[in-house]
Structure 1
Amino acid sequence: MSTPDGRRSDGGGRGRDSGGRPGASRGASGRSGQPRPARGAAQGGRPARPARAKGPARPVEPPRDVHDPDGVRLQKVLASAGLGSRRACEDLITAGRVTVDGVPVVELGVRVDPAKAAIHVDGMRVQLDTSMVTIALNKPLGVVSTMHDPDGRPSLAEFVKNREERLFHVGRLDAETEGLILLTNDGELANRLSHPSHEVPKTYMVEVEGRVHPSLGKQLQQGIELEDGLVSVDSFRIVDQTPQASLVEIVLHEGRNRVVRRIFDEVGFPVTRLVRTQIGPIKLGDLRQGRTRVLGKVELGTLMALVGM
């Protein structure tokens, strides 16, 4: 039966039972008082999704254990390396700023073997082996980049002859090039700094004949074809100029033989003086020619972080 407005009536009026008394409030049984069927295909609703079968749980790799029961307490190792008092080093650990062999350590009591552990604070390697040393030398003009020259020419060994360590040079500068060169007894650091895959940037001050145009920088950054392949600089800056000469600063990560001189010869500006002023984060600064200085812990840590140590 339908009501005048077209709605279907159940005979007793909405909200009343068959005797005209107010009925119970509508609940789960719906208007008809019958249990409401579950929604499904019979009502035209969306079919219920079948339960997903549970497969075997993925194995969870346990965290690496860096604790060495026979080692030294981590905070003591950090304090011995000059990171501060033992209490300050405990704060570094609990703040989550310390890793051991790549694993974050946030709890006190961890012991490590200082001879084997790779410890980093804020991403920088902590120097634990005091026998390792890295030295910056301002190489003068005319010195060959070797520790001994059979022809008797001045060599790098003359500037570190008072050192007890067996040092070797990292990379080379030709005899006509001055400036920063590193010497170390850390073979791993030397190998990484020299390997092309790490692309360690090197900065040079280059004095050339003639007045260069600013457009030369764009040309060098796009690349110059040499006899052994394409080479490009990372940055280029004109420092000073006269009508007869220019002083420019370039940064590149190439390590090919005499590459800076060959680049400028190729573009028609022969080099009259060449000085390397920086290797990665290590700067020549005010270090006088022929003098050396031992890299500090922060400097060395930054350099090691650059090559993934």
Structure 2
Amino acid sequence: MAARTPGSRGRGDGARGSGGRPARRRSAFTPPKQVRLRDGEGGARPGPSTADGETPEVHHEGGERLQKVLARAGFGSRRACEALISSGRVRVDGEVVLEQGVRIDPAAQVIHVDGRRLQLDDTKLTVVLNKPRRVVSAMSDPEGRRDLTEFTAEYPQRLYHVGRLDYETEGLLLLTNDGELAHRLTHPRFEVDKTYVCRFDAPGGPPRGLVKALREGVELEDGPARADRARVLAQNGREAVVEVTLHEGRNRIVRRMFSSQGFELTSLMRTRIGPVLLGDLPSGQTRELTGRELGTLMAEVGL
């Protein structure tokens, strides 16, 4: 979906390219090789409990045929959706369905295809914002600084931010009206990875021990902190750029980790949350998550 700027008219009005045609934007989603299925407690979700290839008890008399629901969700023709079912790629309420003609209640039952959750509630909306610097991660600010309302005003749903980026940090911020998704994305038990690009002054280049220290853990005033991954992206003898991935969400944790090693960041940008990438979305613009992005994100936190 095309990016949106504050003040654009209506959700359906994407940015326009030459000739008045909708502008196409490169997808900002790279699906993982294997979706991490989580249960409601953040642990690994067990596999199907069926025995001898029997169809699980998910049939809902009076509901819609499963292949019709899949076709409406964009998985191709009815025949293509029947093939998905026959190959064991569809789960309903956590159970693999192999039999054709099973009827379900899409409003009450949970469907996964290849481990990705189908969001069938069209009242729910989740969007990516590339938050600019010097914007408060709040819907209002008593000091009168720029806040998030200018980026949500054009959506009919009332959206809220998932977590925060500090005033000087830019990059990927999720906005949603799905309270359960927001809760799980911010709860530490689900350990959703977040990636940041960190720029700082480093005359002569960053010391060899910096990346190692970030990976092994550093001491902060509120306890130790450790990056899951860290690597040098660039250096020119005057400044350096390091990419850091971690799943903790303590206040200003990335800035404080670098400060503990004697480096003050000159810029900080978040580029990824779980499977969702910022990509080439311009600063100050938004886009809706694709169904595939949202499904993978929901499956990762047990939805």
Q: Same fold (TM over 0.5)?
A: yes
Where does residue 274 of structure 1 map in the other structure? 268
SS in structure 1 at match of 2:155 = coil
Is 295-304 or 144-153 further displaced after alignment? 144-153
Q: How far is the alpha carbon of 1:63 from its aligned partner? A: 7.7
Structure 2 residue 207 is matched with structure 1 residue 213: yes
Gaps of 5+ in 2: 1-50
SS in structure 1 at match of 2:281 = coil
Q: For the residues of structure 2 that align with 1:149 and 1:116, how far apart are their CA atoms? A: 38
Where does residue 256 of structure 2 map in the other structure? 262
Where does residue 294 of structure 2 map in the other structure? 300
Where does residue 112 of structure 2 map in the other structure? 120
Aligned partners of 2:161 and 2:176 also within 8 Å: yes
State the percentage of identical aligned residues. 57
Aligned partners of 2:136 and 2:145 also within 8 Å: yes
- CA RMSD between the two structures: 1.4
Q: For the residues of structure 2 that align with 1:144 and 1:269, how far apart are their CA atoms? A: 24
Q: For the residues of structure 1 that align with 2:78 and 2:157, how far apart are their CA atoms? A: 30
Q: How far is the alpha carbon of 1:64 from its aligned partner? A: 5.1
Q: For the residues of structure 2 that align with 1:81 and 1:231, how far apart are their CA atoms? A: 42
Q: How far is the alpha carbon of 1:213 from its aligned partner? A: 1.9
Structure 2 residue 277 is matched with structure 1 residue 283: yes
Where does residue 78 of structure 1 map in the other structure? 70
SS in structure 2 at match of 1:207 = strand
Q: For the residues of structure 1 that align with 2:160 and 2:69, how far apart are their CA atoms? A: 28
Where does residue 157 of structure 1 map in the other structure? 149
Q: 1:89 aligns with which of 46, 66, 81?
A: 81
Q: For the residues of structure 1 that align with 2:175 and 2:133, how far apart are their CA atoms? A: 17
Residues 81/63 of structure 1: CA separation in 2 closer, same or farther (3 Å cut): closer
Q: For the residues of structure 2 that align with 1:121 and 1:275, how far apart are their CA atoms? A: 33
SS in structure 2 at match of 1:146 = coil
SS in structure 2 at match of 1:82 = coil
Letter in 1 for 2:137: S
Structure 2 residue 61 is matched with structure 1 residue 69: yes
Q: How far is the alpha carbon of 1:121 from its aligned partner? A: 0.7
Q: 2:97 aligns with which of 85, 105, 113?
A: 105
Aligned partners of 2:56 and 2:97 also within 8 Å: no
SS in structure 1 at match of 2:76 = coil
Q: Which deviations, in whole Å up to 9, do the C-alpha atoms of 1:68-108 show, x marking residues without a partner?
A: 10211111111111111111111111111111000111001
SS in structure 2 at match of 1:90 = helix
Aligned partners of 1:214 and 1:238 also within 8 Å: no
Pair member with larger Rg: 1
Q: 1:194 aligns with which of 161, 164, 186?
A: 186
Letter in 2 for 1:96: G
Where does residue 233 of structure 1 map in the other structure? 227
Q: How far is the alpha carbon of 1:115 from its aligned partner? A: 0.6
Aligned partners of 2:188 and 2:248 also within 8 Å: yes
Q: For the residues of structure 2 that align with 1:96 and 1:196, how far apart are their CA atoms? A: 32
Q: Which deviations, in whole Å up to 9, do the C-alpha atoms of 1:266-302 show, x marking residues without a partner?
A: 1001111101111111111100000000010111111
Q: For the residues of structure 2 that align with 1:122 and 1:240, how far apart are their CA atoms? A: 37
Size of the aligned set, in residue pairs, is 249
Task: Report runs of 4+ in structure 1 exceeding 4 Å deviation.
Answer: none
Letter in 2 for 1:220: L
Q: Which deviations, in whole Å up to 9, do the C-alpha atoms of 1:6-37 show, x marking residues without a partner?
A: xxxxxxxxxxxxxxxxxxxxxxxxxxxxxxxx
Q: Which deviations, in whole Å up to 9, do the C-alpha atoms of 1:174-208 show, x marking residues without a partner?
A: 01000000001111111111000111111111011
Q: For the residues of structure 2 that align with 1:209 and 1:116, how far apart are their CA atoms? A: 54
Q: For the residues of structure 2 that align with 1:214 and 1:248, how far apart are their CA atoms? A: 12
Where does residue 249 of structure 1 map in the other structure? 243
Aligned partners of 1:68 and 1:111 also within 8 Å: yes
Instruction: Tell me the TM-score normalized by structure 1.
Output: 0.78
Q: Which deviations, in whole Å up to 9, do the C-alpha atoms of 1:205-258 show, x marking residues without a partner?
A: 101122312321111111101111110001111111133321111111110000
Q: For the residues of structure 2 that align with 1:104 and 1:181, how far apart are their CA atoms? A: 34
Gaps of 5+ in 1: 1-59
Q: Which deviations, in whole Å up to 9, do the C-alpha atoms of 1:36-72 show, x marking residues without a partner?
A: xxxxxxxxxxxxxxxxxxxxxxxx9x98521110211
Q: For the residues of structure 1 that align with 2:56 and 2:164, how far apart are their CA atoms? A: 40
